[in-house]
Structure 1
Amino acid sequence: MTLLLTRLRATLLFYRSVAPFMAGISGLLLLAVLVPALLEGFTHDLIFRLLLAKLATAPVVWYLAEQLRPGQYWLYFNLNISRRQLWTGVVALDAGLFLGSALLVRAVLS
């Protein structure tokens, strides 16, 4: 239980450092694609297509995070958490937040 809690806290801490990139891409997808499509009446599988587009941007964010802060992983390595585990948690958390935001936008505009 302690190991799971430590990994969850480390994932949240790491997400905080990459959240500006992730939230910026989410905002662009929601405001520039989803809102106009919903106003035009196109709703068939749009949210899940946008979720796939959002997941496709994860390698770009990973690369930008590596370039801007190359020594950011020392704390997580000391906690015995690999980069893959960190990024898996961050992508899952961000996908969940994006899906929730998209469903909220759809509910507001419907």
Structure 2
Amino acid sequence: MSSRLKPHHIVRIIGVGVALFTFGSYLAPFVFEFDEASDVTRKVFGNVPAGVKLAFYTTIPMLIVYGGWVASYRVKNWERGRPDNRRTTLKNAKRRAGD
């Protein structure tokens, strides 16, 4: 197996990076203790319980990682240099019509 970094690896790394950035946006107010000096502000997630915020900021990064992982499969097909064979044939016509 080659240890060379391939395009589908880059897609996975980007997916994980975006997910980490998203979760970091949940942690940032706790770490940096943001305090708004302006009189006119809008509190983000004003009346939302902490558990719901945590669920939101953990579910979304997991979905982003999943999306990056699935997108990397499409990039693997591109790396192979040929498109998927998705033609309707006599063998798969009944199954496709049933879907």
- Greater C-alpha radius of gyration: 2
Q: Provide the TM-score with structure 1 as the length reference.
A: 0.38
Q: Provide the TM-score with structure 2 as the length reference.
A: 0.41
